[in-house]
Chain A
């Protein structure tokens, strides 16, 4: 039990589908993150939420839409994705964004056909 739970662990979708990734943290942290991990690329930060407000959006395409309804839950809504969006999507949480100490979930492996 890592304290950060991601569902689903695996997802296959077509380019016209709409799906969502879910992340839940049980650590009482104030900040949550979405990272993208592609083969042979460094981890890329997609979104940061602190106290449920988005504080960072690293120029992510609009086909990715985050939602943070409360400090324990984070969603990533997906629509009209491209095959190059296939990757491992990692959720993380931290007590303080400036601490640098992140707690990661096990990731959602996304394949776009």
Chain B
């Protein structure tokens, strides 16, 4: 079975500084991987997805993620945080008809 582990339950950064949200996956092959974002009182929205076409994936709102097979990682980054980035972020791997969600990382952005 495939799974993902988000290494930090909470990350706090200052506005304008880089963001790093960490995700490791467990799979015997290169899976598809996704990052979703959930703003307060909202549903989840797809940020970006990796499907083996390119290891560096660019998403919406300036986010990107790099697939590293040697490290079984798919960390999410952004060069400069904005206040509107404050939200919960989920790393996700498909499994049959299901999507295995990580536990989530809450991003706080300080002024």
List residues of chain A with CB under 8 Å of any chain B CB: 2, 4, 6, 40-43, 45, 48, 50, 55-56, 58, 90, 92, 97-98, 100-107
Q: Is the CB of B102 within 8 A of A42?
A: yes
Q: Is the CB of A43 within 8 A of B101?
A: yes
| 28 residue pairs A–B, Cβ–Cβ below 8 Å | A2-B43, A6-B43, A40-B103, A42-B101, A42-B102, A42-B104, A43-B90, A43-B101, A45-B98, A48-B98, A56-B97, A58-B98, A90-B43, A90-B44, A92-B44, A97-B97, A98-B94, A98-B97, A100-B32, A100-B34, A100-B94, A100-B99, A101-B34, A102-B36, A103-B46, A104-B44, A106-B42, A107-B43
A43 to B6, CA, bound (A): 13
A98 to B49, CA, bound (A): 13
**Chain B proximity of A47: nearest CB distance (Å):** 10
**Chain A proximity of B42: nearest CB distance (Å):** 5
B interface: dominant SS: strand
Given contacts A100-B34, A104-B45, contact A56 B98 (CB under 8 A): yes
* B94 partner residues in chain A, CB cutoff 8 A: 98, 100
A4 to B44, CA, bound (A): 11
Q: Is the CB of B46 within 8 A of A101?
A: yes
Task: Tell me how many residues of B have a C-beta within 8 Å of chain A.
Answer: 22
Q: Is B92 an interface residue (CB 8 A)?
A: yes
A105 to B42, CA, bound (A): 8
**Chain B proximity of A57: nearest CB distance (Å):** 11
A90 to B90, CA, bound (A): 15
Q: Is the CB of B99 within 8 A of A45?
A: yes
Ranked nearest first, the 5 interchain pairs of A and B with the lowest CB-CB distance are A104-B43, A100-B94, A43-B101, A104-B44, A106-B43
Q: Which residue of A lies closest to B33 (CB)?
A: A100
Count chain A CB atoms within 10 A of each CB in B41, B90, B99, B102 and give the residue with the most: B99
* A56 partner residues in chain B, CB cutoff 8 A: 96-98
Given contacts A102-B44, A107-B43, contact A55 B97 (CB under 8 A): yes
* B42 partner residues in chain A, CB cutoff 8 A: 106-107
